[in-house]
Amino acid sequence: MASDHVDVLIIGAGLSGIGAACHLRRDCPDKTYAVLEARDAIGGTWDLFRYPGIRSDSDMFTLGYSFKPWTAPKAIADGTTIREYVRETAREYDVPRHIRFRHRVLRAEWDSDTARWTVHAQRTDTAEIVVLTCSFLFACAGYYRYDEGYTPPLPGVEAYAGRLVHPQHWPDDLDHTGKRVVVIGSGATAVTVVPAMAQRAAHVTMLQRSPTYVLALPARDPLADALRRWLPAKAAYPVVRWKNVLLSTVNFQLSRRAPGLVKRVLRRAARGRLPVGYDVDRHFSPRYDPWDQRLCVAPDGDLFTAVRDGTASVVTDTIDTFTATGVRLASGAQLPADIVVTATGLNLLALGGLTLRVDGVDVDLPNTVAYKGMMLSGVPNFALTLGYTNASWTLKADLVAGYVCRLLRHLDRTGQQVVTPLPPPDAERVPLIDLRSGYVLRAVDTLPKQGATTPWRLHQNYARDVLLMRHGRLTDEGVRFSRAGEMPVPDRTRPPVASERR
Ligand SMILES: Cc1cc2nc3c(=O)[nH]c(=O)nc-3n(C[C@H](O)[C@H](O)[C@H](O)COP(=O)(O)OP(=O)(O)OC[C@H]3O[C@@H](n4cnc5c(N)ncnc54)[C@H](O)[C@@H]3O)c2cc1C
């Protein structure tokens, strides 16, 4: 194993890692690659999460790959269909034979003399350490911890005698038929799980400290349904994809420029789906502006329907304490519960917990600046995939993978081996993820930063990024190309490599 070398090493076999492998196969077929995956399955998020109703909250025409049309009937699709789509794509591009499952990547060390990464992974079944080398390291490890979801302190929880479940670790044996369920949280997971469980439970209560924007959207895309009747999937797909890109961009830009207007529209839409006299302001009108946090989607308004039908209800209050039989609220009200679901979020984790060293110096992630949202200043031959916060993850993942292939071809064409982003010349730094959600704020200090201007600034705008990353120049003031043995970044604070000492 110690002598194993590949041109590109991909970390993670989720939506992004499989997409990256397909891009390599399409654009750089002569490159050797391997995928190291900590789990024993393809799919990442779409294999891990198994809670009732698990589904996308983006449309699959933009959450799908640019090169693989989404042909299933629903635009907002369930987890199983998405998982099967990712697996089918992997099979079509012969990716599975390149994947080494049960390999958790722990650290990677770059050596400028050889222009190689040495990557240390641990087998999750035998604990054996496996060492590989690669010329380019591509982290597609997602953005959160797989082993543990986030649970805030729950006062008095030890007294609770019912089942307490986190959606990230859904037990196979949990039957909620006829049970009283309390779901704590108001994010995308709560908005998904509440109407799904309400179909069989005695009653489901969504207990939230504060409301979230919930937007009802059709689960099927009417334009896609119409076009598919006349056009082959390959022709219909890009049309629907661009229509959805355009709609989400308009929605986001309008939210930024006229938040009051968008608030009113969302409030009116929610009110129209709720019973007459319902306290919309208390339960569905957040204090923050739309897109300060991700908007939640209710396909065909399922959450509103469950509330209207009385199978689910929303309570906006705080927990005083858990009791043996449920939850007592600050208002004094009691919520009896056979099952409590803590839909309280994720623990953000950069690069799947991987640590990096460049020429013997540890990379301090919060001190790095992202270049084009996909490489890190001072870190040679390394890319990471971080999707959009205001649009589908895969739109960005596709662009990043395509850009990596462009870089690799450029290096070959110019006889160089190394590409290293530089930090911006000015000192201004901005958080890499611009959401105000709790899970982002809890981890923002551990993440790389972005700069104030292009190419270090993320614009969260797909059309703009298409121009920048698919058609823009590869050489600019933010990046340095060099040969093996040369110092990748002249002003790095580290000892010079051998070739520079000469
Ligand atoms: C419940 C849920 C619903 C979501 N819905 C949407 C949505 O509708 N639209 C949207 O745009 N986004 C959504 N997201 C965000 C979602 O994570 C992305 O859309 C997408 O699935 C991310 O794909 P990925 O491959 O980058 O990461 P992941 O799906 O997280 O996959 C990462 C893979 O890397 C592996 N890995 C991690 N660390 C290591 C390591 N050190 N060594 C080896 N392997 C490692 C993991 O085991 C995993 O298989 C959702 C997220 C969640 C949790």
Q: What are the structure tokens assigned to 120, written together?
A: 């240390």
Distance 13 CA to ligand 1 centre (A): 9
Q: Which of 308, 339, 359 is nearest to 488 (CA)?
A: 359
Q: Number of C-alpha atoms within 13 angstroms, CB side, residue 175?
A: 2
DSSP conformational letter for 462: H
Neighbours of 231 (CB within 10 A): 12
Burial of residue 121 (CB within 10 Å: 0-12, 13-18, 19+) is buried
Q: What is the Cα 452 distance to its own chain's centre?
A: 23
H helical segments located in 372-420: 393-414
Q: Which positions of the chain have pLDDT values less than 70?
A: 1-3, 435-436, 488-502
Measured distance CA(285)–CA(182) in Å, rounded? 21
Distance 365 CA to ligand 1 centre (A): 20
For a substitution probing ligand 1, which of 147, 384, 392, 393 has the most ligand atoms within 8 Å of its CB?
393
Residues with CB under 6 A from ligand 1: 11-17, 36-39, 44-45, 49, 56-58, 63, 104-105, 140-142, 146, 189, 352-354, 385, 387, 392-393
Identify the pLDDT of residue 369.
96
Identify the pLDDT of residue 441.
78
- Which numbered atom of ligand 1 lies nearest the CA of 346? 53
Task: Please give the C-alpha separations between residue 144 and each of 125, 224, 374, in angstroms, as whole numbers.
Answer: 22, 32, 17
Of all protein residues, the one whose alpha carbon is nearest to atom 35 of ligand 1 is 12
**Burial call 189-212: b when 16+ CB within 10 Å, e when fewer:** bbbbbbbbbbeebebbbbbbeebb
Identify the pLDDT of residue 501.
34
Measured distance CA(10)–CA(20) in Å, rounded? 8
Which SS3 state, helix, strand or coil, does residue 208 take? strand
- Which numbered atom of ligand 1 lies nearest the CA of 103? 43
Measured distance CA(168)–CA(496) in Å, rounded? 46
Distance 40 CA to ligand 1 centre (A): 15
Of all protein residues, the one whose alpha carbon is nearest to atom 30 of ligand 1 is 142
- Which numbered atom of ligand 1 lies nearest the CA of 167? 1
Q: What are the structure tokens assigned to 358, written together?
A: 């460049």
SS3 content of the chain, % helix, strand, coil (to 5): 35, 25, 45
3-state SS of 27-92 is: HCCCCCEEEECCCCCCCCHHHHCCCCCCECCCCHHHHCCCCCCCCCCCCCCEHHHHHHHHHHHHHH
- Which numbered atom of ligand 1 lies nearest the CA of 352? 38
Q: What are the structure tokens assigned to 34, written together?
A: 């391997």
For a substitution probing ligand 1, which of 23, 35, 36, 45 has the most ligand atoms within 8 Å of its CB?
45
Distance 12 CA to ligand 1 centre (A): 9
Identify the pLDDT of residue 496.
38
Cβ atoms of 396 and 385 closer than 8 Å: yes
Residue given tokens 């598919």 in the structure block:
228
Distance 48 CA to ligand 1 centre (A): 9
Would the CA dihedral through 490, 493, 494, 496 be positive or negative? positive
Of all protein residues, the one whose alpha carbon is nearest to atom 17 of ligand 1 is 45
Q: What is the pLDDT of residues 157-172, one digit of tens each?
A: 999 999 999 999 999 9
